[in-house]
Amino acid sequence: MARSVLVTGGNRGIGLAIARRLAAGGDSVTVTSRSGEPLDGLAVVRCDVRDAASVDAAFAETEKRQGPVEVLVANAGVTRDQLLALMSEDDFAAVLDTNLAGAYRAARRAVRGMMRMRRGRLIFISSVVGLYGSGGQANYAASKAGLVGLARSLARELGSRGITSNVVAPGFVDSDMTAALPEERKAAILSAVPLGRYAAAEEVAAAVAFLGGPDAGYITGAVIPVDGGLGMGH
Ligand code: NDP
């Protein structure tokens, strides 16, 4: 049966691959984007996850079209890399506000309907660096580690309502975000990845499809790595 799915930041990169994968599996999928520009074959709502009213409006529009959200993929994320000594309050706060508080805002709004339905899947897109650490990314890694605490708390809080809450932690994925890295940084990363290559966004989408699907009904509070072995041992 088609489920109602919302993917934040689903207009490009990993989020778009997730949305396309779930839509191909027969789900009704809406993606959020900040521009609200139309996308081929997917419903789009405008949303800035830094703004609770904008999140609320995006859910209301999605629910009107496809019913209460049963699968939330909290994917929207940004980087503002800087060494700690040079990292401004604004660089730190802006990344936390989008990546961590944005996921909290989306989850808080999503669970309203999920609690009524007594089922739901919360899937948070973290990163290998949340647990591995990453020099020059203290803000980003802190936000991604925070998602693990958020997801696991919600797993405990909402399990009795039939709602699961899990994290997918991708390693380095071909996307606009990694295209911006300097060449020597990219080479250093690849040399540390046992599989010796970046992930395709579709490989992250496959893990999300599994967690959102019927075979993952008894999985909650998990952190699923899709990182080519980079973070093993977490
Ligand atoms: P992209 O930079 O390609 O896409 C980021 C997405 O987040 C865009 O859709 C963007 O929307 C959206 N977004 C950013 N800020 C906001 C906001 N304030 N409100 C709503 N949407 C927002 O990144 P990726 O596809 O690479 O990354 C997707 C997720 O995966 C992120 O959470 C990232 O941290 C994580 N990740 C990525 C890895 C990688 O190697 N690429 C590795 C591990 C994790 P807009 O188009 O409007 O800017």
- What is the pLDDT at residue 208? 98
Rounded Cα distance, 105 and 107, in Å: 6
Q: How far apart are CA 63 and CA 87, in angstroms?
A: 39
pLDDT digit string (tens) for 94-150?
999 999 999 999 999 999 999 999 999 999 999 999 999 999 999 999 999 999 999
Q: Domain residue spans in the chain?
A: 4-174+201-222
- Residues of the chain with pLDDT > 90, as a percent, come to 91
> What does the alpha-carbon distance between residue 108 and residue 97 come to, in Å, rounded to a whole number?
15
Expressed in angstroms and rounded, the spacing between residue 15 Cα and the centre of ligand 1 is: 7
pLDDT of residue 144: 98
- Tell whether the model's pLDDT for residue 63 goes beyond 90: yes
Judge: domain 4-174+201-222, CATH 3.30.930.10: no
CA–CA separation, 86 and 79 (whole Å): 15
> Is the minimum distance from the CB of 100 to ligand 1 under 6 angstroms?
no
Task: Name the residue with the closest Cα to ligand 1, atom 11.
Answer: 9
Position 179 scores a pLDDT of: 85
pLDDT-based confidence at residue 186 (cuts at 50, 70, 90): confident
In this predicted structure, the answer to whether residue 231 has a pLDDT above a threshold of 80 is yes
pLDDT digits (tens, 9 = 90+) for 144-165: 999 999 999 999 999 999 999 9
Mean pLDDT of 15-24: 98
* Choice among 104, 132, 140, 198 that is catalytic: 140
Cα dihedral 102, 105, 109, 111 sign: positive
Higher pLDDT, 180 or 91: 91
Q: The whole model's pTM is what?
A: 0.97
Dihedral sign computed on CA atoms, order 42, 46, 50, 56: negative
- In 47-196 the beta strands, taken as DSSP E runs, fall at 71-74, 120-125, 163-170
Would you say the CB of residue 76 lies under 6 angstroms from ligand 1?
A: yes
For a mutational test of ligand 1's pocket, the pick from 8, 21, 31, 34, i.e. the residue with the most ligand atoms closer than 8 A to its C-beta, is: 34
